[in-house]
Structure 1
Amino acid sequence: MSRSTSPLLIVVGGTDPVYRGYCVEQVAAAYPIALIDTKPPSWQEHLVVDHEVADTHDPAAVVAAGLALAERHAIAGVVTWDEYCLVPTGQLVARLGLPGNSVESMNAGRNKAASRRLFAEHHVPSATSTRVDTLEQATAAAQRTGFPVVLKPASHAASIGVIRVDTPEELPAAWEFAAVGAGDQGPEGHGVLVEEYLVGPEISVECVTVGGLTTAVAVTRKDVGFAPYFEETGHTVTAGDHLLPHVSPIAVQALRALGITDGVQHVEMRLTAAGPRIIEVNSRIGGDLIGTLVRLATGVDLPRIAADIACGNDPSLTPSAHRTAAIKILYPPADGTLTARHLSVDPGQQRPWLHQVAWLHDVGDRVALPPRGNANGRIGFLIVTPTAPLKPANGWPLSPRA
């Protein structure tokens, strides 16, 4: 591989073509990129200047791969939008002496028990939380907290192992579910958290932080289903959402508490009767194509912004659109074999509001509803961009109180 004429941006993991393909494409349009991933480039090969194969969840392996790329190219920056790659990426950034978040701040965000401690120390409104290792400890913590409670692994993502528990009788089965989920969680945190259940609509605040200064660029309103689990089944982003000025200060406060100084963040919270309260902070672009929704609704390009910040360049946060964009996730009616799939309409010039339709399973595939299927139980999704703002669904408020 010949040495590139321009400094490269290293992208660590996050190359799933369905949910992260747009990130790779938008960043590659602005910067020459190199990948560190678990396998060689395939669909994205034409976008990549160079690559290294490594275990992207292993900090030592990521650092070694990054140093190998640095021997062949000048490196401008390092970025990831994979939750499990945040700490390894932070270690590579530090080793290469590039701008970015500290390893300590990435660990603080990944370890939800550490996050809760820092939120409490900095008076950030969140949930009462206790880390436990056994059912007996979970029972005692739940009794102190008061039912309903939420059990969740300390360092997982995508709602894996997360369950609401309404009564003491439900706790043993819920513990088994959460403990199984915690068995393969990231190494940044251990055990299970027993947390206060926050009542109210769920949202996320999409943020951009440069040199410790945070700008909240969008609010994502969420559909959450399959109770007592927390499967996210849809998202809606509207430019100029009335919630933005009310929830932004809480998001900024949470990022400050964790010591996050740079990049794009996805800050999840619930709108309770007492005001917005933090669920968790993810130091990367939100999943489920939320970055696409933000771009369609506001014109703000979150992958490009993440790349600009990683390379030490000033990002553009100026909105260039003012509309609504939404994604709806499609699920089967029951567990079993998928026998048919269809929509009554297709994307095209006659339906400009239907931005994208994607199928994730073929006829003949075995499918299962959450929690058995989790994200793999999704059979497809569609993204719409109506010409008029969508009316908030499910009683979502347009004020900070539910």
Structure 2
Amino acid sequence: MAKRALILVEGHTTSGPLYIQAAQRLGLHSITLSADPAHYDYLAAEGTEAIRVDIENFDALIQECSQLRATYDIAGITGFSVADESACVVAAKLCRHFDLPGPNPTSIERCFDKFTQRQLLAEAGIPIPAYRLTANASDVERSAAEIGLPVILKPAEGSGSSGVRLCRDEDELAKHTNYLLGGAHKWRSSPRILVEEFAQGPFYEATTMGNVVITIGSADFGCPPHFVPCKSIFPAPITDEEHERIANVSLSCLRALGLDWGPANIEFRWTNRGPVVMEVNARLPGWTTPQLVQLAYGVDIIYEHIKVIIGDECDLRASHSHTSAARFLVPDSDGILDRIEGTSRAAAVPGVVDVRFYVEPKASIVRKGDYRDMIGHVIAASPDRTRTAAILQRAIDLIDWSITPLPHSSE
């Protein structure tokens, strides 16, 4: 009997190893298809199979999967969010081609186009920030004047807050417009910039599977104008009424976007209008969120997602109710990371689950103003919210690092 295999299109620094490990627990052999497998260090560490293939060449992907079917029973295919989200769309199309369980490729593609996504949400009457689609500097300036400063400028495609900035005045607006259009930002196609109202208020995110809201968490970000995560907590510190409102709007988003299969991650700001949808991602959240959800509720969302992928019934019921939280370590200057101290002491604090740096001493630190600025994290969990916060702070206080500053650009 042929061995059952799970095809992973591209990879992910944090979620990738978790998918491979969860697949192993389900008796699946993981095979990663990537334009550059060497980009993902964990593939060698996990001893998993990887094949180099141009993921933008759909015919080549079909041919590769067809050849694999001669050796393996392909149980499912899924893709990771890369810089342009294309792997998720490609994976959905492959599922459709090989008649495997998967999302509607058109729904995934429309969702990853932030402008199209906003149009569909607005048509459904879902609260979103005011927005305009622009392609040049004069359009940006005119749209910002219509909406009113401050505004958010962001590429209409992308992830991880790359290229996203808060523009508080005309100088910041002109500067970031020049950054996006002047060649520094990499575009897959013609530049398309969203100018959005700055929705102010606490940040929340809902994680869903199918039509089930699994959890609602909250997060904080570093100093404007960038949006670099600095803290995350599950469950979010909200009332039952606020939870219900966010959950109801989340389900409305899924219906409006046709995301009735698989995972989604929906981001909100709670404004004077209540929950306003900032973005809907047709995938599971990355980084520490899967681990935080499992610590808080006992639900392994990656394991359950793979069960959905291969056509098995998933179990999203919580087995306990704890509070989990992460603090992200973010440098305040560019330069050379000279030293890292205190990680062992921090890891030994009771209630600390994980202490991790993503870089080694002597690494060059060049901040980008997005998720790439995070150089590490600390995760803690306990049955009590106040206790979890105290554990996390104690661990953070034990960690120290230094950076020798070097001249750097402001973008």
Question: 2:251 matched to 1:216?
Answer: no
> Which deviations, in whole Å up to 9, do the C-alpha atoms of 1:29-60 show, x marking residues without a partner?
11412222232786445867754322345544
Determine whether 1:367 maps to 2:368: no
1:233 aligns with 2:234: no
User: 2:355, 2:110 → 1: CA distance?
Assistant: 37
- Pick aligned residue for 2:382 from 360, 369, 386: 386
Q: Are the counterparts in 2 of residues 125 and 277 from structure 1 also a CA contact under 8 Å?
A: yes
Give the gaps of 5 or more residues in structure 2: 390-411
Q: 1:3-402 residue pairs with structure 2 within 5 A? A: 5-16=2-13, 18-32=14-28, 33-37=30-34, 38-39=36-37, 43-44=42-43, 50-56=49-55, 58-82=57-81, 83-179=85-181, 183-185=185-187, 190-209=191-210, 214-238=211-235, 242=239, 243-343=242-342, 346=345, 351-371=349-369, 374-390=370-386
Shift of 1:182: 8.6
The 10-residue stretch of structure 1 (190-199 or 360-369) with the greater mean CA deviation from structure 2: 360-369
- Return 118-127 or 230-239, whichever deviates more: 230-239
User: Following the alignment from structure 1 to structure 2, what is the Cα–Cα distance between the partners of residues 252 and 193?
Assistant: 25
Task: Describe the SS at the equivalent of 1:296.
Answer: helix
Equivalent residue letter for 1:223: D
Cα distance in 1, alignment partners of residues 265 and 93 from structure 2 = 21
Deviation readout 1:144-168 (Å, 9 max, x if unpaired): 1111111100111000000111223
Calculate percent identity across the aligned residue pairs: 23
- TM, length-normalised to structure 2: 0.85
Q: Is the 8 A contact 1:205 1:216 kept in 2?
A: yes
Change (3 A) 1:71 1:176: farther
The residue identity in structure 1 corresponding to 2:248 is: P
Distance across 2 between alignment mates of 1:229 and 1:164 = 7
Post-superposition CA distance 1:303-348 (Å, at most 9, x none): 1111111111110011112101111111223221112212376366
Q: Which residue of 2 aligns with 1:398?
A: none
| Aligned equivalents of 1:244, 1:305: Cα separation in 2 | 23
Cα distance between partner residues in 2 of 1:229 and 1:299: 33
Q: Distance in 2 between matches of 1:366 and 1:51?
A: 29
Give the deviation of 1:287 after TM superposition: 1.8
Question: What letter matches 1:39 in structure 2?
Answer: P
Q: CA deviation at 1:391?
A: 8.5
CA-CA distance at 1:261 after TM superposition: 2.0
Shift of 1:134: 0.1
The 8 Å contact of residues 330 and 381 in structure 1, kept in 2 or not, is answered as yes
Structure 2 letter corresponding to 1:286: P
Structure with the higher fraction of residues in helix conformation: 2
| Aligned partner of residue 345 in structure 2, secondary structure | coil
- The DSSP-based 3-state class of the residue aligned with 1:292 is helix
For the 8 Å contact 2:12–2:80, the answer to whether it is kept is: no
For the aligned residue pairs, the C-alpha RMSD in angstroms reads 2.6
Q: Deviations over 1:205-231 (max 9, x none)?
A: 01011xxxx111111211111311111
Alignment CA distance shift 1:365-1:43 (3 Å): closer
TM-aligned CA deviation for residue 25 of structure 1: 1.4
CA-CA distance at 1:370 after TM superposition = 4.2
Amino acid at match of 2:359: H
Q: 1 CA distance for matches of 2:277 and 2:57?
A: 29
Amino acid at match of 1:268: E
Q: Offset of 1:204 from its aligned partner?
A: 0.8
CA contact (8 A) 1:127 1:197 kept: yes
Q: How big is each residue's C-alpha offset from its partner over 1:111-131, in whole Å with a ceiling of 9 and x where there is no partner?
A: 000001101111111122211
Distance of 2:284 and 2:182 partners within structure 1: 27
User: C-alpha offsets along residues 165-222 of structure 1, whole Å, 9 cap, x if unaligned?
Assistant: 12233321021233368942456x851111111111111101011xxxx111111211
Counterpart Cα distance in 1 of 2:168 and 2:42? 45
Q: 1:138 to 1:24 in 2, by over 3 A?
A: same
Distance 2:219 2:344 in 1: 24
CA 129–60 in structure 1, closer or farther in 2 if over 3 Å, else same: farther
Q: Distance in 2 between matches of 1:262 and 1:182?
A: 37
Number of residue pairs aligned between Structure 1 and Structure 2: 381
Partner-residue secondary structure (3-state), 1:339: strand
Structure 1 unaligned blocks of 5 or more? 394-402
Cα gap change, 1:62 to 1:266, in 2 (>3 Å): farther
